[in-house]
């Protein structure tokens, strides 16, 4: 498929962008603690420029001293960061990319401890329970903050930036002035629309005056705040038109404030381009270019959006983490080579919040761009045992290093338990990830042998130089009376279509595995009950995923029994004990599904090292955990072979 519109150039103010592929601003914690960008930052952005993203937006950069939202946020409130910024812009310009820098004061979404000063907002309203209460910015200081944006923009320009993007979304400082939900001021910056927009207007005017029209000036706004009393899409369309009148060169449309961040970094269940209709509303209101963002993972819908005039550029956020070369692959029509973002949120969002450098489940190279993968000094015969994501990932990395790799899978399908994770509602993109790993193995030249059980004797016969054990995990079976009853259905067998459940079903285990199995059955109109030892179901599910998972529970009428320790299994139910020591029965089910999680499976133990000393165990074969751990360990082992 050709992507003619996505690869057409576009003018944004004084800046010409070669195509419509955008890297949006994403916190990555690669910056140094002194506010400068690191060599890792340079390599990270340069890799996306090599991948032919036309416009690359550097992560939220602090414009005011005392407004630093995290320990590894880059800063432009003084000249110290200009030199390190120049390294990024030079590296990206060498690949033909344009650079924009997002200018941010986190405002009420900041952190006083990290900032070293009280956080500020339009009004003293906390962003959420447990967050610092901000100080309302005094009127005279608002004008000082405006100057800070202009000064930061000049430093960005000195650092080689082609554009700046003023952050006016997500509940941060500027957004707190725009929204009547958070702006209760009665000075010239509060009250009616014009007053609430005064801060934004004066910032744009100051930035344009200070940069003398030499760089493009963009803004990121919400399409809607997604909270009662906040801005909706009609407000945002009027805001966009107003900002265009202030001299803005382009609008970048995002969505929601942080207490509804399932709209900011949408989880797997959310379709790509889910905010398209709202972006359309804003596009109709302006004549300047509009950038859309919102879980875009493939170029097909992006091409349609641009072709139909519903937007002008498309930002591929987490997709650019998963595959920094996605535009290049689209241009060369190597669509099956694309590595998809599965919106797991495990390595990116979780680490961003924790203040740690981000990483990626599907792309373990993220954060290691500066290191590269050195070719093997000597080609080894490498045996990889297990065709789950850990084994597949280790296999293609080792093969690409120059080793001779053979992967052995005991079953007739690749993907391991991750393949089954794609079966519950909304998880289909996981299949895309597994397929991309298989393709990469095939193109690298990995030999894949299916239905091959590996034993110690087989290893002796094959005489590999190195072995990577990625044998995965199996259903956790605790020593509970009746659990081995053949009538009990293992959740993995249910998802794999090996066994069918009756109408009325009890799912034993209310962690992520059990809850997703329950949603799978609920979608098929089964009458489902989940029993869980903890006081709540889905306690181990990432918040953004849990929002939608609990909606499935509500929509499908899935019932819950919590705080229940299962003591005995029957063919038609269980006996369980509650915290008060009382015994109860829940019976009368057509099927009982065992979904209490997984335990590691490694049939070789330490004996394998007496045969092949250079043996490594990775992923669930060590301990059943997240797929993020599996691919990370695959990278760590295979890259050093």
Task: HSE, CB side, 13 Å, CA atoms: give it for residue 86.
Answer: 8
Cβ neighbors of 101 (< 8 A, separation 6 or more) are 57, 58, 61, 76, 85, 156, 159, 161, 163, 164, 165
Q: What are 72's strand-pairing partners?
A: none
Task: Please give the Cα distance from 138 to 151 (Å, whole number).
Answer: 20
Buried b (16+ CB within 10 A) or exposed e, 305-341: bbeeebbbbbbbbbbbbbbbbbbbbbbeeeeebbbbb
Is the Cβ–Cβ distance between 219 and 200 less than 8 Å? yes
Is 77 designated active site? no
Label the pairing between strands 10-12 and 15-17.
antiparallel
Is the Cβ–Cβ distance between 188 and 206 less than 8 Å? no
φ, ψ for residue 388 (rounded to 5)? -80, -170
Three-state DSSP class for residue 383: strand
Is the Cβ–Cβ distance between 641 and 466 less than 8 Å? yes
Rg of the chain in Å (alpha carbons): 27
Q: How many other C-beta atoms can be found within 10 angstroms of the C-beta atom of residue 534?
A: 13
Burial of 86 (0-12, 13-18, 19+ CB in 10 A): middle
Task: Please give the Cα distance from 529 to 588 (Å, whole number).
Answer: 11
Is the Cβ–Cβ distance between 164 and 153 less than 8 Å? yes
Cα torsion for 343, 348, 350, 352, to the nearest 10°?
-140
Which among 44, 45, 172, 423 is annotated as catalytic? 172
Cβ neighbors of 171 (< 8 A, separation 6 or more) are 107, 108, 109, 127, 182, 225, 257, 258, 259
φ, ψ for residue 18 (rounded to 5)? -70, -25
- 489's enclosing H/E stretch is strand 489-490
- 404's enclosing H/E stretch is strand 404-408
Question: What strands lie across the sheet with 381-385, from one edge to the other?
Answer: 447-449, 404-408, 381-385, 466-469, 615-617
Task: Please give the Cα distance from 292 to 171 (Å, whole number).
Answer: 19
Q: What are the percentages of helix, strand and coil residues in the chain, rounded to 5?
A: 35, 20, 45
Q: What are 468's strand-pairing partners?
A: 384, 616
Chain centroid to CA 152:
28
Alpha helices in 472-542 (DSSP H): 491-495, 512-523
Alpha helices in 317-448 (DSSP H): 317-322, 326-331, 349-354, 389-400, 416-420, 429-444
> Tokens 């957004």 map to which residue?
175
Let me know the angle formed at the C-alpha of 588 by 583 and 591, rounded to the nearest 5 degrees.
110
Chain centroid to CA 9:
28
Distinct helix (H) and strand (E) counts, the chain: 22, 27
| Positions marked active-site | 172
């Amino acid at each position: 498929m050709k992507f003619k519109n996505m690869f057409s150039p576009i003018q944004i103010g004084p800046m010409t962008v070669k195509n419509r592929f955008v890297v949006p601003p994403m916190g990555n914690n690669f910056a140094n603690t002194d506010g400068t960008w690191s060599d890792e930052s340079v390599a990270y952005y340069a890799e996306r420029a090599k991948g032919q993203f036309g416009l690359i937006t550097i992560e939220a950069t602090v414009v005011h001293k005392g407004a630093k939202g995290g320990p590894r946020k880059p800063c432009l409130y003084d000249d110290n960061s200009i030199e390190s910024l120049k390294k990024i812009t030079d590296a990206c310009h060498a690949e033909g990319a344009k650079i924009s820098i997002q200018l941010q004061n986190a405002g009420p979404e900041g952190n006083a401890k990290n900032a070293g000063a009280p956080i500020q907002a339009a009004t003293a309203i906390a962003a959420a329970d447990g967050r610092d209460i901000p100080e309302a910015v005094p009127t005279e200081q608002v004008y000082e903050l405006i100057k800070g944006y202009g000064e930061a923009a000049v430093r960005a320009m000195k650092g080689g930036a082609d554009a700046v993007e003023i952050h006016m979304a997500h509940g941060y400082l500027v957004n707190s002035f725009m929204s009547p939900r958070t702006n209760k001021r009665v000075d010239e910056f509060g009250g009616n629309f014009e007053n609430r927009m005064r801060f934004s207007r004066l910032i744009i005017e100051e930035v344009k005056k200070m940069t003398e029209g030499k760089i493009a000036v963009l803004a990121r706004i919400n399409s809607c705040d997604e909270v009662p009393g906040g801005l909706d899409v009609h407000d945002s369309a009027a805001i966009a038109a107003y900002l265009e009148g202030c001299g803005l060169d382009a609008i970048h449309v995002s969505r929601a404030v942080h207490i509804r961040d399932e709209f900011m970094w949408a989880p797997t269940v959310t379709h790509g381009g889910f905010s398209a209709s709202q972006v359309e509303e804003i596009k109709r209101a302006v004549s300047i270019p509009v950038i859309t963002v919102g879980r875009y993972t493939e170029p097909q819908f992006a091409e349609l959006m641009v072709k139909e005039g519903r937007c002008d550029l498309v930002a591929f956020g987490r997709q650019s983490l998963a595959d920094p070369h996605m535009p290049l692959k689209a241009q060369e029509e190597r669509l099956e080579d694309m590595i998809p973002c599965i919106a797991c949120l495990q390595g990116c969002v979780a680490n961003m919040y924790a203040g740690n450098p981000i990483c990626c489940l599907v792309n373990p190279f993220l954060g290691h761009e500066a290191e590269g993968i050195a070719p093997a000094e000597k080609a080894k015969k490498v045996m990889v045992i297990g065709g789950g994501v850990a084994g597949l990932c280790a296999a293609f990395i080792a093969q690409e290093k120059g080793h001779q790799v053979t992967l052995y899978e005991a079953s007739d399908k690749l993907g391991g338990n991750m393949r089954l994770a794609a079966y519950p509602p909304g998880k289909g993109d996981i299949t895309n990830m597994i397929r991309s790993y298989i393709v990469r193995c095939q193109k690298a030249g990995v030999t894949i042998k299916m239905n091959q059980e590996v034993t110690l004797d087989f290893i002796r016969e094959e005489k590999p130089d190195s072995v990577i054990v990625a044998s995965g995990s199996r259903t956790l079976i605790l020593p509970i009376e009746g659990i081995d009853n053949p009538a009990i259905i293992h959740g993995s067998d249910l998802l794999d279509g090996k066994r069918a459940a009756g109408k009325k079903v009890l799912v034993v285990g209310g962690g992520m595995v059990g809850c997703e199995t329950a949603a799978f059955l609920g979608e098929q109109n089964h009458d489902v009950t989940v029993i869980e030892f903890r006081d709540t179901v889905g306690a181990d599910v990432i918040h953004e995923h849990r929002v939608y998972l609990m909606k499935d529970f509500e929509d499908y009428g899935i019932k819950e029994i919590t705080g229940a320790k299962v003591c005995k299994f029957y063919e038609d139910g269980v006996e369980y004990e509650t915290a008060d020591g009382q015994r109860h029965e829940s019976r009368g089910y057509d099927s009982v599904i065992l979904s209490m999680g997984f335990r590691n499976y490694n049939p070789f133990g330490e004996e394998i090292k007496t045969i092949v000393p250079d043996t490594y165990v990775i992923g669930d074969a060590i301990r059943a955990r997240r797929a993020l751990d599996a691919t990370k360990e695959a990278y760590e082992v295979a890259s050093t072979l």
